[in-house]
Amino acid sequence: MALPSILQDRLELPVVGSPLFIVSGPELVIAQCKAGIVGSFPALNARPAHVLEEWIIRIKEELAEYQAANPDKKVAPFAVNQICHASNDRLQHDIEVCTRQEVPIIITSLRPPEEVVTAAHSYGGVVFHDVINVKHAKKAAQQGVDGLILVCAGAGGHAGTLSPFALVREVKEWFDGTVLVSGALSDGYGIASAQALGADLAYMGSRFIATQEANADAGYKQMLQESAAEDIVYSNLFTGVHGNYLAPSIVNAGLDPHNLPEADKSKMNFGSGGNQKSKAWKDIWGCGQGIGSIKDAPPVEELVARLKSEYVEACREFLAKMPAEARAQLAQAAE
């Protein structure tokens, strides 16, 4: 596995909890890290701007205290997501905060993040960049990112249309850094499948919206439990970038989910000020296609334990189905 040293022997499961706009706050991130998976949040969730440093300090202190009290536990590092887009008028400020606080992992989105890579590498941090195709992946790799998050068909929020079977294998042909895969992953079987494809880490978001620590509306969590893949709509109307959303939330906002107009990409806005698009994010709920297995909203600790049990069972089933000759070859290679 191509894992950076900062993640080696620090994970209970090969999972990064993806940053969820509005939903991811310190409570969710801390719970995820304590459970042994990487927790993350978008820098823009911390409003106003000075709150970002307060959140980071709180997360660092609480995780350090927990690790000291539980030396045998695997406590994962945390990550902060930076939107590298011209409309994000906080980007430079937020990079400076993350650099000053030496945030272990930076997740970047939308634009090749050269300045973020330089900043993170200055103190030993790592950068994972999310992409939806090989073209974008190669641009990010040229900027020196440590990992690529392949946002495949079925992922929640901003998502691509390529199958992970295609995108993972194409990227693995030339990229030797950490590979993360996203797209309809909501249980331990999905985590095992991502690794079987060749990914190092699974990138999961929607499943963690339906947890006690998530800063999500109760109606949002309930809608996740009542919906399935057929209730997901792919549209660029709400931010200018195509993404997957819950059709019932679109209906509740007074729109027809099956007759949505195309957005004007020139009017994309991911800035820190109040605007109609930020309001839309509160009313229109993003989600991936893998929600059919979401039946409850447990504490994160309980959910991660369940995911780990499913992951182990999936690996056991995979080995059981493997031909005897292949198992023998695998055992020989392990020696």
3-state secondary structure the chain: CCCCCCCCCCCCCCEEECCCCCCCCHHHHHHHHHHCCEEEEEHHHCCCCCHHHHHHHHHHHHHHHHHHHCCCCCCCCEEEEEECCCCCCCHHHHHHHHHHCCCCEEEEECCCCHHHHHHHHCCCCEEEEEECCHHHHHHHHHCCCCEEEEECCCCCEECCCCCHHHHHHHHHCCCCCEEEEECCCCCHHHHHHHHHHCCCEEEECHHHHCCCCCCCCHHHHHHHHHCCHHHEEEECCCCCCCEEEEHHHHHHCCCCCCCCCCCCHHHCCCCCCCCHHHHHHHHCCECCHHHHHCCCCCCHHHHHHHHHHHHHHHHHHHHHHCCHHHHHHHHHHHC
Higher pLDDT, 264 or 300: 300
How far apart CA 281 and CA 42 sit, in angstroms, is 14
Flag whether pLDDT at 327 surpasses 90: no
Average pLDDT of the residues in 62-70: 98
Higher pLDDT, 51 or 328: 51
The mean-pLDDT minimum among 31-35, 97-101, 114-118 falls in 114-118
Give yes or no for a cis peptide into 48 (omega within 30° of 0). yes
Higher pLDDT, 121 or 280: 121
Q: What is the pLDDT of residues 282-310, one digit of tens each?
A: 789 999 999 999 999 999 999 999 999 99
Flag whether pLDDT at 1 surpasses 60: no
Which band of pLDDT confidence, cut at 50, 70 and 90, is reported for residue 110?
confident
Average pLDDT of the residues in 193-197: 95
Answer yes or no: pTM beyond 0.75. yes
How far apart CA 37 and CA 334 sit, in angstroms, is 26
Q: What is the pLDDT of residues 152-183, one digit of tens each?
A: 999 998 889 999 999 999 999 999 999 999 99
Inter-residue contact 150 to 175 (CB < 8 Å): no
Which band of pLDDT confidence, cut at 50, 70 and 90, is reported for residue 275?
very low
Average pLDDT of the residues in 101-121: 93
Domains of the chain in start order, with CATH, are: 15-218+290-334 (3.20.20.70)
Neighbours of 193 (CB within 10 A): 20
Mean pLDDT score of the chain, rounded to an integer?
A: 92
Flag whether pLDDT at 145 surpasses 90: yes
Which band of pLDDT confidence, cut at 50, 70 and 90, is reported for residue 329?
confident
- Tokens representing residue 245 in the block: 């959303």
Which band of pLDDT confidence, cut at 50, 70 and 90, is reported for residue 266?
low
Flag whether pLDDT at 273 surpasses 70: no
Flag whether pLDDT at 315 surpasses 50: yes
Contacts of 129 (CB under 8 A, 6+ apart): 107, 108, 109, 112, 113, 140, 143, 145, 147, 148, 149
